[in-house]
A and B are shown apart, each in its own frame.
Chain A
Amino acid sequence: MIENQGGNGAVSDSILERTLRAGHFAVTSELGPPQSADRNVILEKAGLLKGYSEAVNITDNQTAIVRMSSIGAGAIVIQEGLEPVIQMTCRDRNRLAIQSDLLGAYALGARNLLCLSGDHQSFGNHPTAKNVFDLDSIQLVQMVASMRDECIFQCGDAFKGQEPRLFIGAAAAPFADPIDFRPYRLAKKVQAGADFIQTQLIYDVPAFEEYMEKVRTMGLHEQTYILAGVGPLKSPGMARYMKNNVPGLLVPDQIIERMTAAGEPWAHIGKEDLTKEDKAARSAAWKQEGIQICIELINELRRIEGVAGVHIMAIEWEEAVGPIVEGAGLHPRPAIESLPA
């Protein structure tokens, strides 16, 4: 038990963990598996992301839409030389299924896990499905930590042999309601055993600074690695949608204005008169500004004490990750072979 836990305090041999423990500013990114059994989609996306982050989150039926499994896609990603962060939701599996899947994931080479409650199935493409929610995300963190650190299953039975030495993550939504409770909820996740945290998308840096101040007062930044979530905007419409429709997301008007201004050269053209070429050029201008804003956000976020890295969510836009990481001066990623014992 915990044989490979050296004096460096590492709980796993994840590259993400080693990067963080070595004191480097870490980068994670995200890979959305396809709504098919097409391995090539994973290969293409892995090719775009390789070398730009320590680890790549593989979403688990994100927004409750059926996609290739996180563990399946994660195994392919490992073959491509990337390190996955397996995302696991409580929506689709009970405690038996989660534990057995995680044993399998570890055996396939997975070393990082992100524990989530999961989007409710009513948002997805199977709204008539029965949900599970046998556990919640905090109980999931606790269960995996017990499997790893004590070699016991959730029922309390001890097991022999290899334990799943996973670097355990959880999510945080700093601006979700009730906002005053958010640092305390983070504390519960840390207490449950979360080694790292990936936050919801941050666009409002001053608001996040306030949150981090409370987090630091509670000493949580010294007990877990907090990776601030960022994501490039594709259009002013996307920015407005996020501001108005996504709970727990703060998008300052200033950012919406910048995105709008990026499309200014086409603003005088009537909607019907926009040619295909105009639309493509405007989209490219928007995306360029979206990437630039994301780079600036990373530069601001990394100055906040207690922010150990960034999690870049370029949803269905994996091409953006390279330019963002390079633009933020975070490329090449540090070479981490091993930590001192």
Chain B
Amino acid sequence: MIIAEQKPFEEIKTLIGEAENILVVGCGTCVTVCFAGGDREADILASSLRMNGQLEQRSREVKHVTVQRQCEWEYLDEIAPDIEESDLLLSLGCGIGVQAIAEHFPEKWVVPGLNTTFMGLPLEQGVWSERCAACGDCVLGLTGGICPIARCSKSLLNGPCGGSEDGHCEIDPDTSCAWQLIYERLTAMDRLDALLEIQPPKNWKTSRDGGPRKIVRQDLRLVSEEAGDD
């Protein structure tokens, strides 16, 4: 899932500026699960902004609402009346949610309350770790299900470099060396031969380096004309 964390309160205050009718929009999917932008967090942030407005003697109304998925326009339609009443939308969705609101309500000003950090999983309550970089050309079949693109600090395809120590990456003792993990897993599975082959330079075209990405599935589309611009 997408992992995010809330921006510092001071930054959020700067982003909302002089707005008087603020709607904090939570999202019921990934950011709820990672405790960054669900209904509870939207509620707390709205209260904090109201209290702060009183302390600073501002005329500031803050409401909050949460949609099931901020990244789909049909869910946003459900809160259109709340959105219409507001002069600023503070999204607690990921970066996709913020943009979905901006695209669907082009006359409204929307600002992000979260920093979208990565795609990953919870290791335990309160700890999340990156797992996928969405490179668009999955190599997990070569590396025993451990991604060197997302999890090696240098995204090496022919690792390991010489910088790990006791299984930790040289850039941070709290980060596992992806190549140490790959090596151990392939050794345990008796598939070390896979590491002896030289992996050629990666085609980064499928990654962000090829420009913004889009998938068109004609088999799923309801209209047959050419897919429109983004």
Contact = CB atoms under 8 A, between A and B. Distances in A.
Interface string B159-180: 1111111110011100001001
B160 A181 contact: yes
Per DSSP, are chain B's interface residues mostly helix, strand or loop, or mixed?
loop
Most chain A CB within a 10 A radius of its CB, from B165, B199, B204:
B165
Contacts of B106: none
B184 interface: yes
Contacts of B162: 171, 173, 176, 200, 247-248
A181 B157 contact: no
Contact of B183 (A136, A138, A178): A178
15 contacts: A117-B156, A118-B154, A119-B163, A131-B154, A133-B155, A136-B154, A139-B158, A139-B201, A177-B165, A177-B166, A177-B180, A178-B183, A184-B196, A192-B198, A247-B163
A138 B196 contact: no
B200 interface: yes
Interface of A: 90-91, 95, 117-120, 122-123, 131, 133-139, 142-143, 154, 171, 173, 176-178, 181, 184-185, 187-188, 191-192, 200, 247-248
Contacts of B29: none
Given A117-B161, A120-B153, A131-B154, 5 more contacts: A139-B158, A142-B200, A187-B196, A200-B162, A247-B164
Contact of A178 (B153, B155, B180, B198): B180
Given A120-B170, A184-B196, A247-B170, A177 B164 contact: yes
In order of increasing CB-CB distance, the 5 nearest A-B pairs are A173-B162, A176-B162, A247-B165, A138-B158, A136-B156
A51 to B, nearest CB: 31
A176 B153 contact: no
Contact of B201 (A119, A154, A188, A247): A154
A123 B171 contact: yes
Given A120-B153, A120-B154, A133-B154, A191 B198 contact: yes
B200 to A, nearest CB: 7
A154 B153 CA distance: 24
B142 interface: no
Contacts of A185: 158, 160
Contacts of A177: 160, 164-167, 177, 180
A137 B201 CA distance: 10
A290 to B, nearest CB: 23
Sorting the interface of chain B by its residue count into under 10, 10 to 19, 20 to 34 or 35 or more gives: 20 to 34
B170 A188 contact: no
B195 interface: yes
A174 B117 CA distance: 36
Nearest to A136: B156
Contacts of B154: 90-91, 117-118, 120, 131, 133, 136
Contacts of A133: 154-156
Contacts of A134: 201-202, 204
Nearest to B163: A247
Contacts of B165: 177, 247-248
Contacts of A173: 161-162
A118 B154 CA distance: 9
A136 B196 contact: no
B195 A181 contact: yes
A188 B204 contact: no
B103 to A, nearest CB: 27
A29 to B, nearest CB: 21
A173 B162 CA distance: 6
Nearest to B197: A188
Nearest to B201: A139
Contact of A136 (B158, B164, B166, B184): B158
Contact of A176 (B155, B160, B172): B160
B201 A143 contact: yes
Most chain B CB within a 10 A radius of its CB, from A95, A120, A131:
A120
Nearest to B162: A173
A176 B198 contact: no
Contacts of B184: 178
B160 A188 contact: no
Contact of B196 (A90, A122, A131, A188): A188
A264 B142 CA distance: 55
B78 to A, nearest CB: 39
Interface string B198-225: 1111101000000000000000000000
A136 B196 CA distance: 15
Contacts of A139: 157-158, 198-201
B145 to A, nearest CB: 18
